[in-house]
Amino acid sequence: MKKDFHEIIQKFLPKKCSLVAAFSGGPDSVYLLEKLNKLNKTYKFKIIVAHFNHKLRGKDSENDLKFAEATSKKHNLLFECGAFDIKKYAKENKLNLEDACRAKRYKFLEKIRKKHNAKAILTAHHLDDNIETFFINLLRGSGIQGLKSMQIQNGFILRPLLYTSKEEILDFLKRKKLKYRIDKSNYDKTFLRNEIRLDLIPAINKIQPKFKDVFIHTWNNINEINEFLDDEAAKWMAANHQKNKLEFSRNNYLNLTAAVQTKIIQKIFQTVHGSVIGLSKDLISRLTDHIKTLQTGKKAPFGKNHYLVLTKKTFKIVKYKA
């Protein structure tokens, strides 16, 4: 079922709260800010416009910043900006540019959220972005966790445009005669996301003109399956862990279906590290195989600074001693 912008805002945000609106200056973020301002007559939000300069596009990046600041002033909103040398950061941390940009941008947005004690960070990710993310994860061999793509709410992140198409956004901006910035790097096919957007999806649309409706239906189904597996994993963890410890029954774990086993490893990993970044499909498979060996005392890496170790009847997560 498709949900509109107002319905999502009404569900997730109370009136008169503070919120951070991520604003690049592109059409999507201009649309998001316009929709927020229209609702603000009723909701009385305190909106903080947050712009992050990735320093990748020289003069264009500087002009994006000026546009973002001017737009904030036009709406009489608070403005925050940040900047970082992304190319240097990506090289030092062996990340691709897209992942490096995302990591630093979200770190900045969270800093601004905390500064203003905001209820949420709103991003302008829309339906087309979500479809692209689905295919990126599919091509990388992600399991069902990856195929659920973006979620409307993820911690303090709120994405109220996930049921709104790019076509709807551009049509609205054209009718309202609203200006926005164009990021030329969106047409650079060295980025996988751009190649999917420019080549793969148009080809699919020729075969199935109603593909976006099909995607929404499929996405909703995947989310329902994920929710069921999350519930099953949470119930199992509550019933099978040692009190106040990350230690669980080995035999009971091995009697579960592979899908629930995967969910349990993901949940434990997220509890330890705060996210599932670094937890690949191959690592989950290796950890499950490790638990199956039944070799007491055997250890396996479990992300940075932690390992999984086997006892006679359990497996547990232990932190390396400094």
Cβ(20)–Cβ(61) below 8 Å: no
pTM of the full structure: 0.85
Strands 314-319 and 306-310: antiparallel
Q: Could you tell me the residue range of the domain that residue 177 belongs to?
A: 5-186
Domain assignment of residue 257, yes or no: yes
pLDDT score of 296: 86
What's the mean per-residue pLDDT of the chain?
Answer: 91
Q: Please tell me the total count of domains within the chain.
A: 2
Question: According to the model, what pLDDT value does residue 32 have?
Answer: 97
Closest CA to 260 of 149, 137, 134, 143: 143
The residues near 57 (Cβ < 8 Å, ≥ 6 apart) are 64, 183, 184, 185
Find the CATH number of the domain harbouring 285: 1.20.59.20
Domain match, 75 and 163 both: yes
Q: Does residue 196 lie within any of the structural domains?
A: no
- Could you report the per-residue pLDDT of 95-116, keeping only the tens digit for each? 777 778 888 899 999 999 999 9
Structure-token match 């030092």, residue found: 92
In this structure, are strands 120-122 and 18-22 parallel, antiparallel, or unpaired?
Answer: parallel
- DSSP letter for each residue of 29-41: HHHHHHHHHHHHH
Give Cβ neighbours of residue 322 (< 8 Å, ≥ 6 apart): none
Q: Rounded distance, CA 318 to CA 119, Å? A: 34
Judge whether residue 243 has pLDDT over 80: no
Residue 101 shares a structural domain with residue 247: no
Same domain, 223 and 180: no
Instruction: In whole angstroms, give the CA distance from residue 307 to residue 105.
Output: 30
Classified as helix, coil or strand, 47 is: strand
The two three-digit tokens of residue 267, written as one number = 């949940």
Asked whether residue 197 is domain-assigned, the answer is no
More confident residue, 17 or 54: 17
**CB burial of residue 178 (10 Å; 0-12, 13-18, 19+):** middle
pLDDT digit string (tens) for 249-280?
999 999 999 999 999 999 999 989 887 877 88
How far apart CA 110 and CA 190 sit, in angstroms, is 29
